[in-house]
Amino acid sequence: MRLSRYFLPTLREPPREAEIVSHRLMLRAGMMRQEAAGIYAFLPLGLRVLRKIEQIVREEQNRSGAIELLMPTIQSAELWRESGRYDAYGKEMLRIQDRHEREMLYGPTNEEMITEIFRASVRSYKDLPLNLYHIQWKFRDEVRPRFGLMRGREFLMKDAYSFDVDEAGARHSYNKMFVAYLRTFKRLGLTSIPMRADTGPIGGDLSHEFIVLADTGESQVFCHKDYLGMAVPDEKVNFDDIAGLQKTVDQWTSLYAATEDMHEPDKYAAVPADAQVSARGIEVGHIFYFGTKYSLPMKAVVATADGKEVPVHMGSYGIGPSRLAAAIIEASHDEAGIVWPEPVAPFKVALLNLKQGDAATDGACDQLYAELTAKGVDVLYNDIDERAGAKFANADLIGLPWQVMVGPRGLAEGKVEIKNRKTGEKEQMSPAAAVDLLG
């Protein structure tokens, strides 16, 4: 992409309304723009990041055996009356009336709708297990939308829903999501820690919040430091191996980890002092087994092997891709700007023409751009007529993993300069070597 033909409205001045670094940097880097409190337009650069996050989330859901569908954002109040949540949900739900004065709502989550879809067509244990997910916008009328995408009112969520004939099956489904989440966050360049979360009136121990440690996190968390280096299963993990998955989950739940709500000071005190981590955290995912909470009132039943009808056992599993975009920046930035982990970077390479209008420099840049693009590398080519200093600052701000700097002085010796945004290391090499390195 040539910057001269792109839409990248960066800001020079730090925006005043932004309280945390990710919010500040996303506005400055021209990734998004607030249209109303907690409601954002994704500008092209921000959309590229969101799509990459979404795709990694999708790949790991698919790998675990979950199946993608797409439910609407607008729902009918009827379904929520069946589950009893229409009145209980309160002010976070955005309620809408259509022209026939029918009560509708903008979905804050989809348990009711998926249960309706399930009960309409699944009748037998033979069709189970089943896990259906979608990646769709949600609306929650948060009391205090703030910190940009971190706590929006309209936000993107991946929500999956599992269906099993009994609790043992549901536990396996839960473990699949648990492991898929570990893998997802790892691939996004994040260290996430599953922390025991409140299961409410259902009880049991099957709810975990996945927390990324960051000073700007909204919750206080406590955990054992060994979680920070614990191994995450690789892509060969077998999701059908019930015992194998259980072993991974057992390991990842063996040490102390709890958010403030679930914190037990006496148990935490048993963690060796030098292994205690007390920090702020961001909730990036949440998984939950809730048994027959919706299937019972909504009559989603299946026939068991011995012909009995039982309400199906369900779980739900959320990830916030838009919140993740902010969380990744909280975890990966420096004074100069964003430092994108390569898997979610909006482009891989920033190509900087340091002397726009100089025939040799323009020619070398055009050729590098063509060759890298031909190799499938996403390049943002800064071909704008501005001074080199401004291009360096802009490249650091938007944080693409690699910068290729091309100017007449280097070219006289047949060299361009490559900079690694993360380490800051610079190296001179021929344009051909640069194409090899980055292609």
**Contacting residues toward ligand ATP, per CB under 6 A:** 140, 142, 151-152, 155, 157, 283-286, 318-320, 322-323
Nearer to ligand ATP, 187 or 323 (CB): 323
* By CB under 5 A, residue 286 contacts Mg ion: yes
Question: Shortest distance, CB of residue 320 to ligand ATP, whole angstroms?
Answer: 3
Q: Are strands 309-311 and 337-338 parallel, antiparallel or unpaired?
A: unpaired
Q: What H or E segment, with its residue span, contains residue 330?
A: helix 321-331
* Burial of 388 (C-beta count, 10 Å sphere; 0-12/13-18/19+): middle
Q: CB of 209: closest distance to Mg ion in angstroms?
A: 6
Nearer to ligand ATP, 119 or 323 (CB): 323
Token couple for 431: 């344009």
Identify whether the C-beta of residue 157 lies closer than 8 Å to the C-beta of residue 318: yes
431 binds, among ligand ATP, Mg ion, none (CB under 5 to 8 A by kind): none
List the single partner that 391 binds among ligand ATP, Mg ion, none, CB under 5 to 8 Å by kind: none
What is the rounded CA–CA span in Å between residue 397 and residue 338? Answer: 6
Q: Which does 110 bind (CB under 5 to 8 A by kind): ligand ATP, Mg ion, none?
A: none
Nearest to 324 by CA among 299, 341, 303: 341
3 state DSSP class of 194: strand
Minimum CB distance to Mg ion smaller for 195 or for 339: 195
Maximum Cα–Cα distance across the chain: 82
Distance CA 240, CA 68 (A): 19
* Complex with ligand ATP: residue 18 or 397, whichever CB lies closer: 18
The count of chain residues that interact with Mg ion, using the rule CB under 5 A, is: 2
Identify which of residues 37 and 390 has a Cβ nearer to ligand ATP in the complex.
37
- Asked if 151 and 86 count as a contact pair (C-beta separation under 8 A), the reply is no
Indicate which of ligand ATP, Mg ion, none lies near residue 378 (CB less than 5 to 8 Å, by partner kind): none
- The 246-285 site mask, x for binding Mg ion (CB under 5 A), equals -------------------------------------x--
284 makes contact, choosing from ligand ATP, Mg ion, none, with CB < 5 to 8 Å by partner type, with ligand ATP
Q: How is residue 255 written in tokens?
A: 């040490």
First to last CA, the chain: 16
Q: For the CB of residue 219, give the shortest distance to Mg ion in the complex, in Å.
A: 8
Q: Which is nearer to ligand ATP, 98 or 198 (CB)?
A: 198
Shortest Cβ 91–Mg ion spacing (Å): 12
323 binds Mg ion (CB under 5 A): no
Name the CA dihedral angle for 403, 406, 411, 415, rounded to a multiple of 10 degrees: 0
Please tell me whether residue 138 binds Mg ion under the rule CB under 5 A.
no
Enumerate residues 6+ apart whose C-beta is below 8 A from 143: 91
Q: Output the six-digit token pair for 312.
A: 């199906």
CB of 141 to Mg ion, least distance (A): 11
| Alpha-carbon distances of 73 from 4, 34, 122, 138, 286, rounded to whole Å | 36, 20, 23, 7, 20
Between 198 and 334, name the residue whose CB sits nearer to Mg ion.
Answer: 198
Which partner in Mg ion, ligand ATP, none is near 103 (CB below 5 to 8 A by kind)? Answer: none
152 binds, among ligand ATP, Mg ion, none (CB under 5 to 8 A by kind): ligand ATP
Binding characters for Mg ion, 169-208, by CB under 5 A (x = yes): ----------------------------------------
Distance CA 280, CA 262 (A): 15
Task: Give 285 or 291: the residue with its C-beta nearer to ligand ATP.
Answer: 285
By beta carbon distance, the residue nearest Mg ion is 286
Cα(286)–Cα(4) distance, integer angstroms:
42
Q: How far is the CB of 142 from ligand ATP (least distance, A)?
A: 5
Cβ distance to ligand ATP smaller for residue 30 or 318: 318
Task: Dig out the tokens for 128 from the structure.
Answer: 């189970």
> Which residues lie below 8 Å from residue 431, measured CB to CB, with a gap of 6+?
364, 367, 368, 406, 416
* 308 CB burial (10 A radius; 0-12, 13-18, 19+): exposed
Q: How far is the CB of 138 from ligand ATP (least distance, A)?
A: 7
Please check whether residue 118 is in contact with residue 300, taking contact to mean a CB–CB distance below 8 angstroms. yes
Shorter beta-carbon distance to ligand ATP: residue 286 or 421:
286
CB of 344 to ligand ATP, least distance (A): 15
User: In whole angstroms, what is the distance from residue 202 CA to residue 210 CA?
Assistant: 20
Q: Which is closer to ligand ATP, CB of 18 or CB of 302?
A: 18
| Shortest separation between residue 302's beta carbon and ligand ATP, angstroms | 26
- Name the β-bridge partners of 36: 39
Give the residues lining the site for Mg ion (CB under 5 A).
283, 286
